[in-house]
């Protein structure tokens, strides 16, 4: 009789452990999705940050070129107008904070993934708190959020202490994982809302940024420091026609040819603006989908990564980053069932 009772207890413990393992498998899927999403977001924001950083040097070149072209007697290093420069610096500051916030989130999701397999929550707590603080710092640069809100949001994760049975262990583990997921979700929400504000800031500055880059390329071209062929080469390749070897000589002699090159430069810059705006939208969509996956984890619903795969593929494509597919993964479905709490 005692042997049968022991076997029964053992079976119950094993069953509960199996439920916890199933739940961890889904949490692993969610953690992997978070790592992949923040990886793509990080690559995208770093490329955009570099473009903004180029602005000061380009504006300084244009201002000095114009001043020296007017009069050799007054030719000197010239400081560009401060209005656009100040707005660009403000945007660049927000973008830099976004990069830091995304980096913190990436580390938090990596810790979350590690803890699923190691069954410990210590490093996740530290990294999640850092991620929450990072996203609120980014948001505060756009909304002037009070620091008290940041402190409240970054408070330590709550953990249950003490247990007397395998069921209590599974329940405590589930509670810890859900708590971590909830804080990661809050950080994602804050990041997404701040990114919406950054998008509006970029849209308001778009025309000035375009004019600034066009003027810089025009000045470099007029100074003979860059080749106009570089601007025309993508057009020629798209039309599948070879570019003449002496194209630069022709442009130097022909005013219409030079103006046509400048028109190509302007069109290319405006196309890049549209791509940047599309990348903003894709990044916001990715965050919204990741937020949705966190909600599914809390409601014992299947997690389907098809939509996230499509969004991340599109984000990488828009950012000219390498992708593993030549077409959007519309038919690819990665699913996992939430098993926590099931017998």
Domain ranges of the chain: 2-336
Provide the pLDDT for residue 121. Answer: 53
Provide the pLDDT for residue 221. Answer: 86
- Greater confidence (8 vs 76) lies with 76
Q: How far is CA 35 from CA 106, 301, 336, in A?
A: 5, 21, 17
Across 216-230, average pLDDT: 87
Buried b (16+ CB within 10 A) or exposed e, 82-104: eebbeebeebbebbbbbbbbbbb
pLDDT tens string 112-162: 888 776 655 556 677 777 777 778 788 777 765 443 333 343 343 333 333
Q: At residue 7, does pLDDT exceed 60?
A: no
Longest dimension (CA), the chain: 107
d(CA 187, CA 221): 46
Handedness of CA 192, 194, 198, 199 (dihedral sign): positive
d(CA 250, CA 231): 14
Give the CA angle between residues 152, 30, 154 to the nearest 5°.
10
Across 29-45, average pLDDT: 91
Across 279-300, average pLDDT: 91
Residue length of the chain = 343
Across 212-216, average pLDDT: 89
Across 180-191, average pLDDT: 90
Give the bridge partners for 304, in sequence order: 335
Q: Which of 1-10, 262-271, 291-300 has the lowest mean pLDDT?
A: 1-10
pLDDT tens string 291-303: 999 998 888 777 8
Across 14-22, average pLDDT: 38
Q: Do 290 and 37 contact (CB within 8 A), yes or no? A: yes
Give the bridge partners for 303, in sequence order: 336
The alpha-helical segments, DSSP class H, found in the chain are 2-70, 82-118, 122-143, 147-153, 166-222, 228-239, 247-253, 255-298, 306-318
323 burial type by CB count under 10 A (0-12 exposed, 13-18 middle, 19+ buried): middle
**Among all chains, which residue has been given the structure tokens 């800031």?**
201
- Greater confidence (64 vs 161) lies with 64
Residue 320 CB partners (closer than 8 Å, separation 6+) = 47
Taking alpha carbons only, the member of 37, 44, 101, 106 closest to residue 290 is 37
- Greater confidence (140 vs 309) lies with 309
Across 237-252, average pLDDT: 88
Provide the pLDDT for residue 150. Answer: 36
């Amino acid at each position: 009789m005692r042997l049968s009772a022991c076997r029964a207890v053992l079976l119950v413990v094993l069953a509960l452990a199996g439920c916890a393992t199933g739940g961890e498998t889904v949490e692993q899927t969610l953690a992997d999705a978070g790592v992949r999403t923040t990886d793509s977001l990080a690559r995208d924001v770093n490329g955009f940050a570099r473009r903004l950083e180029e602005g000061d040097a380009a504006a300084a070149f244009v201002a000095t070129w114009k001043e020296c072209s007017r009069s050799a007697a007054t030719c000197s290093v010239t400081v560009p107008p401060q209005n656009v420069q100040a707005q660009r610096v403000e945007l660049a500051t927000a973008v830099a904070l976004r990069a830091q916030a995304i980096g913190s989130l990436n580390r938090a999701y990596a810790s979350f993934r590690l803890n699923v397999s190691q069954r410990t929550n210590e490093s996740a707590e530290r990294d999640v708190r850092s991620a929450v603080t990072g996203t609120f710092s980014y948001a505060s640069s756009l909304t002037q959020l009070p620091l008290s809100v940041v402190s409240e949001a970054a408070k330590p994760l709550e953990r249950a202490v003490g247990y007397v049975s395998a069921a209590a262990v599974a329940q405590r583990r589930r509670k810890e994982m859900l708590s971590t997921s909830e804080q990661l979700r809050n950080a994602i929400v804050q990041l997404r809302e701040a990114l919406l504000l950054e998008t509006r800031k970029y849209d308001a500055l778009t025309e000035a940024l375009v004019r600034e880059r066009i003027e810089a390329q025009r000045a470099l071209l007029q100074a003979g420091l860059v080749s106009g062929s570089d601007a025309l080469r993508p057009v020629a390749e798209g039309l599948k026609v070879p570019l003449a070897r002496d194209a630069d000589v022709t442009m130097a002699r022909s005013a219409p040819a030079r103006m046509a090159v400048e028109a190509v430069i302007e069109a290319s810059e405006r196309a890049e603006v549209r791509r940047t705006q599309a990348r903003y939208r894709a990044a916001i969509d990715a965050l919204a989908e990741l937020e949705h996956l966190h909600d599914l984890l809390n409601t014992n619903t299947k997690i389907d990564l098809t939509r996230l795969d499509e969004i991340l593929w599109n984000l990488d494509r828009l950012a000219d980053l390498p992708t593993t597919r030549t077409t959007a993964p519309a038919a690819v479905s990665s699913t996992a069932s939430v098993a926590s709490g099931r017998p």
